[in-house]
Amino acid sequence: MAAAIQEALEVGSRGLLLDEDTCATNFLVRDRRMELLVAKNKEPITPLIAKIRALRRDRGVSAVLVVGGCGAYLDVADRVIAMDCYVAKDVTAKAKQIAEAVPAALQDENEDLPFGGVTPRIVTLPGGASSSHHLATAASGGDDSDLDDFPAPPTPATTLRGAKSAARRTHLITLSGTDVDLAALDQLVHQSQSRCILDSMLYLRDRLRLASASSAAAAGSNLRSLPLADAVAAVEREWDASSVGIAVVGQFGADAPVGNLARPRTIELAAAINRVRGLRAVQAAAPLAH
């Protein structure tokens, strides 16, 4: 759960939706008995409750937490909404009265800690050039020709994607013979989304490799150093700018629209990249600003 939050923050998420039922209990909070049994300096996990205020204050990220048992969050909540017979009611004032009358934790246990940094990473996807896409969208007059993020390749690549890369099902893709498990990406609901993720990964990998091969070009040199967040944002801009939409990353590029792709969020694209075995990552120079 902590890793998932860092993943989301790295690619610019501004809001988190957390359900108590699917979160690890010791990640959310430590109750008073455990605080007494295991001293704070003996517990390696800092619960979210100690940093959730800083998440908003330091990084400008809001959190909506659905709870039915973690009453400790009444201490730190800005707003408390209760569902009463399917009607949403603001019970913030009552919640704060209860929090003051019935302390949920030992003094200083749920202190307001700084959130800490989120370091951007420059990633390299494994595998050779895929020869899977029409990569000359800018050179051939595609709608993304005014984008500076990706250099145009010298010649069109029109061969089809090899059998070693495929979207097997909604939560499983194969990238250059390596299976990538997307089971943790609950928001994916159809194989057409995972197919778009795979095409985008191949597209991104090929464009980055072309940039690396053209190290003399300033654009290529800059592209090689794009952090993950900037790389997936550049792909999203090409989705938006092309006349064929998300099909720009497909095997036919800007030449023709296709009907077997559905748009995922960039956070799912980044999460899929993070789950590729053999992914190489180096830290970028400076922490991400909020």
Are 153 and 139 in contact by the 8 Å Cβ rule? The answer is yes
Residue bearing tokens 């800092």: 46
Q: How far apart are CA 289 and CA 21, in angstroms?
A: 31
| Residue-by-residue DSSP string for 64-131 | EEE-SS-GGGGTT-S--EEEETTEEEE-HHHHHHHHHHS--S-TTTT----------EEEE--SS---
Tokens standing for residue 104: 């949920």
Q: How far apart are CA 21 and CA 73, in angstroms?
A: 15
Read off the pTM: 0.74
Helix (H, G, I), strand (E, B) or coil at 139: coil
CA proximity to 203, closest of 96, 125, 110: 125
pLDDT by residue, tens only, the chain of 290 residues? 888 899 999 999 999 999 999 898 888 988 888 888 888 888 888 889 989 999 999 999 999 999 998 898 999 999 999 999 999 999 999 999 999 998 876 545 556 778 888 888 988 888 754 444 433 333 333 343 334 444 444 333 433 455 588 999 999 999 988 999 999 999 999 999 999 999 999 988 887 665 554 443 444 444 456 889 999 998 999 899 888 889 888 766 656 667 889 999 999 999 999 999 989 888 887 555 55
Tokens standing for residue 244: 């064929």
